[in-house]
Amino acid sequence: MPFRNNDQRSETVPGSVLSFVRQAQPGHVVAKRPRIALIGGFRPRKCGIATFTTDILDQLAAHHDDIAVDLHVMDDPNASLPYEGVRGVIRADRVDDYRLAARRINEDAVDAVWLQHEYGIFGGEAGDMVLELVDRVAAPLIVTLHTVLADPSRRQREVLEHLLRHASRVMVMSRHSMELLQKLYGVSDDRITVIAHGAPDRPFGREELHKATFGLAGRRVMMTFGLLGPGKGLETVISALPAIVERHPDVVYRIVGATHPNLVASEGEAYRDGLMALADQLGVGNNIQWDNRFLETDELLDQLEACDIYLTPYPNMQQSTSGTLSYAVALGKAVVSTPYVHARELLADGVGVLVEPRQADVIARAVNSLLDNPDELRAVKLRAWEKGRETIWPCFAGAARDLVESVIVQPARAVPLLATPGFAGVAAMSDSTGMYQHSIGIVPDRRHGYCLDDNVRALMLMGVADTVPLADRQHWSMIYASFIQHAWNPDEQVFRNFMNFNRTWCEDVGSDDSNGRTVWALAHFMRRAPDNGLREWAAQWFEIALPPVTELESPRTVAFVMLGCAEMLRINPEHAVARASLARGAALLDRLLSESRRPDWAWFEAVLGYDNPRLSQALIEAGALLGRDDWLESGLSSLRFIAHQQLSAQGHFRPVGSETFGLRYESLPFDQQPVEAWAAIDASAAAFAATGDQTWLRHAEVAYRWFLGGNDRGEVLADLSSGRCRDGVTPQGVNMNCGAESILAFQLAHYAMCGLANRTDKGHTAANRAVGEAVPERISNKGAQQLAGA
């Protein structure tokens, strides 16, 4: 698969190879016209979610056409329908459709994804197939929850929690739903938006006009609309009719709506027939009109205008949203309803009348009271109509626009690309033992102690951080070197990795990767140590540490050892063990690549993991040092593949996310971690050194800009003043912690970029540093002060 730059808005690398570091451009810049992917049912499908999704599309087009909408339709596998003007169709029971939709959405480079969620419209247990899509989309995700259950099943809760982890914003239509999310699922206020269900705007008090249209002149009209099923509670209203008709013989109850298609599929019209039989048994059959259709919106509104009293006698008190209730209130109808969630909120303060569920006599009294008092009936209608002005379509569309704009990534303020990061963040994460592993925010977390991996990276930094005073580099080099030295277990002939805060080891044998990384760090430091004594120390320990790892076969361990051996051969080309180990590792990686390669998969394994570009970098360096063009080409082809995998359609860097680990032949976008960007820069530098191809300069720049806001959330992770770096990019934004791996990845990435600048233009680095240590304006939503510290 060829590597290409997908950023159609970016210039190609110009003639001067250093122009890529001279210009301080922002990272991820959104198009002037935002573009969203809207996912849900759609007309002509006959269900509430389809109507709502259609309304979003229509109302945004009518009131805010500056937002472009790509529609991805959820189709009912039992009744597939033709759709017009849609970007894609997702068959609810086809898992591959969800994955294909996610891929198309990512390739379309949309600015946000807006998903309408109801458990029943997606395939799998509790609709869990939708997670196949959610896990794969990279743009900020908005989820509208049409149902928030107070007592979900185990799987329903798991699905919702998964959705919430990936959502940048959650939209609900009632405060009760918001409170459930806060209480049961721990969702913070700033991630929840309450937008009432939208409704049409029509004049008040036109009942008689519309009654005449439908042949209802002179009648008192009650109405219920929607797909028929046991959950509507219509039998309760029919049971109340005898008492209503006795006092108001001119009453007609209009039941409008087709039977729910799922119910028709399972039992035909048995439910409707049962209701009709009940009406005849009670002697009110002539007072009921049945309209067995799913009405288009305009006709539905006309029929609603022809009614006096609208009823929603739902028995389920957890129903959070009713579109027809919103319509009835906005059109100024007197509503008699059971107190389900939506009704309690919308009908408060005398806007409607609430009655207990399944109580026919209570409904009869409420309806008769309104019909007995025309002035009160009109007053309730007027209060409803005035309440409805809050939810009419222009208001809904404005709130929808604000919701979309709240998640769209904004460009980060431009900063000098190679401005020197401070060292305070590194020092604050270190003590006399070594470098702490994790932090809470910017504060070291002693509970997790230390690890060899971070201390060897810190030692590498001391070799290249030439802007840090020499005395400081020597001081911290001694501490990190001492940690490494103490980690050696002579009985096992390996390094330990994890150490508790009290300096006791958690293990006798560290991981293969930590041992391989240590060999690499020792050789790396040997070439760059700040004094001769440290260089000699590194050389001695390289000789001790190399032999035990030369026979290991874990691909990343092999790559780390190869990188160390390549460093050694640059110092001593005659080092026989290093040369043999480098050749052995290159042969192994080349064989793995050959065995795993497919037309669309030029990688060493069927899965992607962490530090991916290091495998390619190791092969490139081996091919260049040992004169093996075949190894060099294998390294370059695999690097082109992984570079393509880690480049978004917008052209910014998108590291392989940690959720990818263990998946075969694919990459998920989150969580993104700094170590991957650093690896991409180092590998690009190796490719440029071997080929002179300036494409790799551009890729290194794109990877480095990931730290500075050029990422899927527009978050600036790195703070130049302190040298700290956040722990990565998540679906919801940025991980606010600043662990050792993240800080060191940023610092080492910076000095790798400086090395590229020195390699291509000797005079540029000093000029770039002279710009100063500017702090980006948009560090994160939590603010720059936390990152820099007091």
Domains and CATH numbers, the chain: 31-198 (3.40.50.2000), 207-391 (3.40.50.2000), 427-450+546-788 (1.50.10)
Structure confidence at residue 596 (pLDDT): 95
The pLDDT assigned to 47 comes to 84
pLDDT confidence band for 27 (50 / 70 / 90):
very low
CA distance 418 to 755: 11
Q: What is the pLDDT of residue 172?
A: 96
* Residue 739, CA atoms < 13 Å, CB-side half-sphere: 18
Maximum C-alpha span of the chain: 108
**Which residue did the predictor score with more confidence, 11 or 350?**
350
**Side chain identity at 77, as an amino acid letter?**
P
Beta strands of 76-194 (E only): which ranges?
88-91, 112-117, 141-145, 169-172, 192-194
Contact 616, 638 (CB under 8 A): yes
Residue given tokens 């405060």 in the structure block: 175
Q: With contact defined as beta carbons under 8 Å apart, do 661 and 610 qualify?
A: yes
Q: What's the Rg (C-alpha) of the chain?
A: 33
Is there a cis peptide before residue 671, judged by omega within 30 degrees of 0? yes
Q: Please return the burial class of 772, using the count of CB atoms within 10 Å of its CB with bins 0-12, 13-18 and 19+.
A: exposed
Q: If you average pLDDT over residues 11-25, what whole number do you get?
A: 35
Alpha-carbon span 205 to 188, nearest angstrom: 42
Looking at the DSSP bridge assignments, the partners of residue 194 are 172
Residue among 323, 265, 313 at smallest CA distance from 118: 323
Q: Which amino acid is at 746?
A: F
Average pLDDT over residues 326-353: 94
Q: What's the pLDDT at 12?
A: 30
- Condensed to tens digits (0 to 9), the pLDDT of residues 88-101 reads 999 999 999 999 99
Residues of the chain with pLDDT > 70: what percent?
A: 92
Going by C-alpha positions, the residue among 458, 519, 533 that lies closest to residue 748 is 458
- How far apart CA 292 and CA 272 sit, in angstroms, is 9
250-254, 321-325, 483-487, 773-777, range with the lowest pLDDT: 773-777
Element (H, E) at 120: none
Residue 778 has pLDDT above 70, yes or no: no
Distance CA 705, CA 204 (A): 57
Higher pLDDT, 778 or 468: 468
pLDDT at position 321: 76
> Among the residues of 349-492, which ranges form H helices?
360-372, 374-388, 393-407, 424-428, 452-464, 470-487
pLDDT digits (tens, 9 = 90+) for 363-372: 999 999 999 9
pLDDT of residue 114: 98
Picking from 709, 755, 741, the residue whose alpha carbon sits closest to that of residue 425 is 741
Question: Sorting pLDDT into bands at 50, 70 and 90, what band is 63?
Answer: very high
Is the model's pLDDT at 113 over the cut of 60? yes
Alpha carbon 73 to chain centroid, angstroms: 20
pLDDT of 255 strictly over 60? yes
- DSSP letter (8 states) at residue 409: P
Parallel/antiparallel/unpaired status of strands 112-117 and 141-145:
parallel
pLDDT in tens, 431-486: 999 999 999 999 999 999 999 999 999 999 999 999 999 999 999 999 999 999 99
